[in-house]
Amino acid sequence: MKRRIKTHLILALLLNFLVIAKLVHFSWTGNDKAILVVIFYYFILIIANILVWVILDYLKQPVGWIYKITTTLLVVLIIPVILLSILH
């Protein structure tokens, strides 16, 4: 794997996980309706990753698979993130 693509993968994963961490923190410090905001913005994050993945795949860019990985990880982590947000 090229160093540039590896760096792109690390940055994309880091950015997504920082957004998730901020959403979970918001649900812990917010009121009882904060979980609805977390769920809404989590799905917005998934949709944004899907859009970037589809656009890069359409343009035949070699980094498109990075957003496929991040989208897959976000979908797999839906239940744990929501449970983590609720159970604090």
Residue 83 CA to residue 88 CA, distance in Å, equals: 9
pLDDT at 37 over 80: yes
69 — phi, psi (to 5°)? -65, -45
Q: Which residue has the tokens 């993130």?
A: 81
What is the amino acid identity at position 1? M
pTM passes above 0.85: yes
- For CA atoms 48, 6, 21, 19, give the dihedral sign: negative
Q: Which has more confidence, 25 or 4?
A: 25
pLDDT at 2 over 90: no
